[in-house]
Amino acid sequence: MPEQHTDTELKRMALLIDGDNAQPSLIGKILSEAAKYGSITIRRIYGDWTTANMGGWKSTLNNFAIQPIQQFRYTIGKNATDSAMIIDAMDILHGRLVDGFCVVSSDSDYTRLATRIREMGIFVMGIGKQKTPKAFVNACNIFIYTENLVPHESRQPGRRDARKTEVREKQDRDLDPVPLVKGAYEMAMQEDGWANLASMGFYLRQVDPSFDPRTYGYKQLSQLIKAYPNLFELRVHDESGTNAIWLKIKE
């Protein structure tokens, strides 16, 4: 599936981070994911920097050129960070300063913001934990789970196979990708019964913005498809000097 949005060299991205809802240790990975879809021209993180829980961010801000935005908590139990971040996002949107947004949070309060950005025809991606409410996930064009950004703790011999077994068992229980893949195949299938894998990747994101082969233990969609040799047939064509992968469901 395509790893980058089209015309990435022309796109300007705004990275807006909810400091109360993100992990400082993943900031490098987050920036790498957002950079796949454009040049990050605006980098801001929001929170109350007078509180202890924001201390983990302070050592990373200068290294990654992220601008901290101070927002005091005026009332206990109310998240003023959400409001400040949403207001800034709307100012950026209406100022036409960027061509896309990356909202880093696991909070459902940003669902309406993501919906509003998409209504304006602007690309929006989200990055958050797997516990993120589905409403926020589906409001984005693309949503990346932070669990997929964490490297495996061990690369020792035997552990990788154990990891694959663990992923497959979890996949069998609750994360079966086959229905999604078959749905995308039906949408991308041509008259001869074959579907282009890149087109399928696009349709998979349309059906489920959070679809990611890494969720199932694979780096690429093609690797995920190859894990089901009894269901899918693959072939590679040389098209204008580029290898294109095509897929067909076996009868």
**CATH code at 180?**
3.30.420.610
Q: What is the dihedral of CA 190, 193, 197, 199, to 10 degrees?
A: 20
Confidence at 241, pLDDT banded by 50, 70, 90: low
- pLDDT at residue 77, rounded to an integer: 45
Confidence at 62, pLDDT banded by 50, 70, 90: confident
Is 163 in the same domain as 145? no
Distance of CA 93 to the CA centre of its chain: 20
Last residue within a domain, chosen from 117, 149, 181:
149
Q: What burial letters (b/e) apply to 129-142, b meaning 16+ CB within 10 Å? A: eeebeeebbbbbbb
Is 171 in the same domain as 136? no
- pLDDT at residue 86, rounded to an integer: 92
- Report whether 178 contacts 249 (CB < 8 A): no
- pLDDT at residue 162, rounded to an integer: 53
Q: Which residue in the block uniquely carries the two structure tokens 């025809």?
A: 121
- Does 114 fall in a domain? yes
- pLDDT at residue 164, rounded to an integer: 52
Q: How far is the C-alpha of 196 from the C-alpha of 244, rounded, in Å?
A: 7
Is 19 in the same domain as 66? yes
Last residue within a domain, chosen from 119, 149, 179:
149
How many CB atoms are closer than 10 A to CB 197? 22
Among the ranges given (53-57, 149-153, 186-190), the one the predictor scored with the smallest mean pLDDT: 149-153
Is 144 in the same domain as 170? no
Q: Which residue in the block uniquely carries the two structure tokens 């064509």?
A: 237
- Region 45-64: mean pLDDT is 82
According to DSSP, residue 208 is labeled -
Number of domains in the chain: 2
- pLDDT at residue 7, rounded to an integer: 46
- Region 16-37: mean pLDDT is 90
According to DSSP, residue 189 is labeled B
Distance of CA 244 to the CA centre of its chain: 24
Higher local confidence (pLDDT), 194 or 251: 194
- Which of 51-55, 70-74, 196-200: highest mean pLDDT? 196-200
Q: How far is the C-alpha of 152 from the C-alpha of 6, rounded, in Å?
A: 30
32 exposed, middle or buried (CB, 10 Å; 0-12, 13-18, 19+)? exposed
pLDDT in tens, 64-115: 889 998 877 655 544 667 888 999 999 999 999 999 999 999 999 999 999 9
Give residue 112's domain range. Answer: 8-149
- pLDDT at residue 236, rounded to an integer: 87
Indicate yes or no: pTM above 0.75. yes
What is the helix (H) or strand (E) element at residue 161, kind and residue range? helix 159-174
Q: How far is the C-alpha of 118 from the C-alpha of 83, rounded, in Å?
A: 19
